[in-house]
């Protein structure tokens, strides 16, 4: 067990946004130092002497872990742990823990907003009124709207977030379909009266869905899952939403689909490279001004409630480790 504890957090800019107060959760364990962000060249100097390292997106690879002799615990401030070299962590007896479920409600809320954004056209109608155009009649409509009731929502990835999205969409009167992921077995027959929505092939989901939302992990089997073939099967009026990982979508294919009006709209909170370079294929002027593509900067998870839950869960991981217990361990 650690006699003393120095905790270093490498990238807490997003966690701290808006003055969120969480420092006491970590100072109770010892010295706590945090940074807005950390470059690869700064990792070793900033983590020197640290027994616990917190990271969100800063990578702790084999070289970094091999040169942090005091480090006994890494807590990833996220669910995905691809930023940590787990093989080296195990070899050096460094415990690694993550945080799950902290942003379920936050991301599900974003998904509903992403559906309502193109469905209700609030921004366009508000801008039209602000421009002084509501003078000709009592009802001023400049864009077609969509009623969610009775529409089909295809959910690809049915973990905590996918299930919460399904529950909310059902309350809107939507029909839910689940996509069968590559490499997964779905041979167990669905029990009579089961509450789980119907599972269909991805091709059938694309064909039937008015909205498609992505919540599956990114791995070799799901990379570019939504591609030219998928878009070709989608309804011309369909809307794609991605809050999972940018790599789930073939972004070049999406650009083609938007330009060809193969789909109605795409709302993305994630891209394959973050932050994206200026020449990213989806940041082309004609796409961003088309009214058919909405991109936000990976913020769906960032409600204050979700961020505080993340900090609390990370602190509980540290407390459990200090008690000699395993909690949310992935090593």
Q: What is the pLDDT of residue 310?
A: 97
User: Is a pLDDT exceeding 50 seen at residue 192?
Assistant: no
Q: What is the pLDDT of residue 299?
A: 95
Strand partners, 176: 153
User: Is a pLDDT exceeding 50 seen at residue 109?
Assistant: yes
Select the CATH number that applies to the domain covering 104-295 from these four: 3.90.1150.10, 3.40.50.720, 3.40.309.10, 3.40.190.10.
Answer: 3.40.50.720
Q: Tell me the backbone φ, ψ of residue 175, rounded to 5 degrees.
A: -90, 135
What does the DSSP assignment read for 153-170?
A: EEEE--SHHHHHHHHHHH
Ordered by start, the domain boundaries in the chain are 6-101+303-322, 104-295
Q: What is the pLDDT of residue 289?
A: 94
Q: What is the largest CA-CA distance in the chain?
A: 75
Q: Tell me the backbone φ, ψ of residue 124, rounded to 5 degrees.
A: -65, -45
Q: What is the pLDDT of residue 184?
A: 80
Domain 6-101+303-322 has CATH 3.40.50.2000: no
Q: Look at strands 293-295 and 211-214 and give their pairing.
A: unpaired
Q: Residues 301-305: what's their mean pLDDT? A: 96
Radius of gyration of the chain (CA): 22
At 188, is the pLDDT very low, low, confident or very high (cuts 50, 70, 90)?
A: low
- pLDDT, tens digit (0-9, with 9 covering 90-100), for 247-298: 999 999 999 999 999 999 999 999 999 999 999 999 999 999 999 999 999 9
Q: What is the pLDDT of residue 136?
A: 81
At 194, is the pLDDT very low, low, confident or very high (cuts 50, 70, 90)?
A: low
Q: Tell me the backbone φ, ψ of residue 111, rounded to 5 degrees.
A: -60, -40
6-101+303-322 and 104-295 share one fold: yes
Q: What is the pLDDT of residue 1?
A: 45
User: Is a pLDDT exceeding 80 seen at residue 4?
Assistant: no
Q: What is d(CA 109, CA 119) in angstroms, rounded to the nearest whole number?
A: 15
Give the percent of the chain with pLDDT over 70.
Answer: 96
Q: Look at strands 31-34 and 152-156 and give their pairing.
A: unpaired
Catalytic residue (one of 196, 252, 274, 305): 274
Give the CA distances from residue 14 to residues 7, 35, 88, in Å, rounded to whole numbers and listed in that order. 18, 11, 28
Catalytic residue (one of 92, 292, 298, 327): 298
Say whether 274 is catalytic. Answer: yes
Give the percent of the chain with pLDDT over 90.
Answer: 89
Q: What is the pLDDT of residue 6?
A: 95
Q: Look at strands 239-242 and 265-268 and give their pairing.
A: parallel
Residue with tokens 């990379």: 223
- pLDDT, tens digit (0-9, with 9 covering 90-100), for 79-105: 989 899 999 999 999 999 999 999 999
At 240, is the pLDDT very low, low, confident or very high (cuts 50, 70, 90)?
A: very high
Q: Residues 137-150: what's their mean pLDDT? A: 93
Token pair recorded at residue 168: 């909310």
- pLDDT, tens digit (0-9, with 9 covering 90-100), for 215-232: 998 989 999 999 999 999
Catalytic residue (one of 72, 245, 307, 309): 245
Give the CA distances from residue 245 to residues 47, 148, 223, 248, 269, in Å, rounded to whole numbers and listed in that order. 28, 25, 9, 6, 9
Say whether 117 is catalytic. Answer: no
Q: What is the pLDDT of residue 3?
A: 47
Token pair recorded at residue 260: 């060809």
At 185, is the pLDDT very low, low, confident or very high (cuts 50, 70, 90)?
A: confident
The side-by-side arrangement of strands in the sheet containing 175-179 is: 198-200, 175-179, 152-156, 211-214, 239-242, 265-268, 293-295
User: Is a pLDDT exceeding 90 seen at residue 187?
Assistant: no
Interior angle at CA 57, CA 179 and CA 157, nearest 5 = 10
What average pLDDT is seen over the chain? 93
Q: What is the pLDDT of residue 183?
A: 79
The residues, ordered by sequence, that sit 6+ positions from 151 with a Cβ below 8 Å of its Cβ are 174, 175, 210, 211
Say whether 298 is catalytic. Answer: yes
């Amino acid at each position: 067990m650690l006699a003393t504890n120095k905790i270093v957090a490498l990238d807490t800019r997003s966690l701290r946004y808006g003055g969120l107060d969480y420092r006491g959760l970590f100072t109770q364990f010892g010295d706590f130092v945090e940074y807005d962000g950390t470059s690869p060249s700064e990792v070793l100097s900033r983590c020197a002497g640290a027994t616990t390292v917190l990271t969100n997106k800063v990578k702790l690879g084999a070289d970094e872990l091999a040169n942090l002799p005091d480090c006994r615990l890494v807590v990833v401030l996220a669910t995905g742990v691809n930023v940590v070299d787990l093989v080296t962590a195990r070899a050096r007896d460094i415990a690694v823990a993550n945080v799950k479920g902290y942003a379920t409600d936050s991301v599900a809320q974003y998904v509903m907003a992403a559906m309502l954004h193109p469905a209700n056209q609030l921004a366009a109608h508000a801008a039209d009124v602000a421009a002084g155009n509501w003078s000709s009649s009592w009802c001023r409509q400049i864009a077609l709207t969509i009623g969610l009731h009775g529409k089909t929502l295809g959910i690809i990835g049915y973990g905590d977030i996918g299930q919460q999205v399904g529950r909310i969409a059902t309350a809107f009167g939507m029909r839910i379909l689940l996509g069968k992921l590559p490499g997964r077995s779905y041979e167990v027959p669905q029990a009579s009266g089961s509450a789980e929505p119907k599972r269909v092939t991805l091709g059938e989901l694309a064909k039937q869905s008015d909205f498609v939302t992505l919540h599956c992990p990114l791995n070799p089997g799901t990379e570019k899952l939504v591609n030219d073939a998928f878009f070709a099967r989608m309804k011309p009026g369909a809307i794609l939403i991605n809050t999972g990982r940018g790599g789930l979508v073939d972004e070049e294919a999406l650009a083609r689909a938007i330009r060809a009006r193969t789909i109605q709209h795409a709302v993305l909170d994630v891209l394959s490279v973050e932050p994206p370079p200026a020449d990213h294929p989806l940041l082309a002027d004609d796409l961003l001004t088309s009214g058919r593509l909405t991109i936000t900067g990976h913020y769906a998870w960032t409600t204050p409630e979700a961020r505080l839950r993340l900090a609390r869960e990370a602190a509980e991981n540290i407390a459990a480790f200090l008690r000699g217990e395993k909690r949310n361990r992935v090593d």
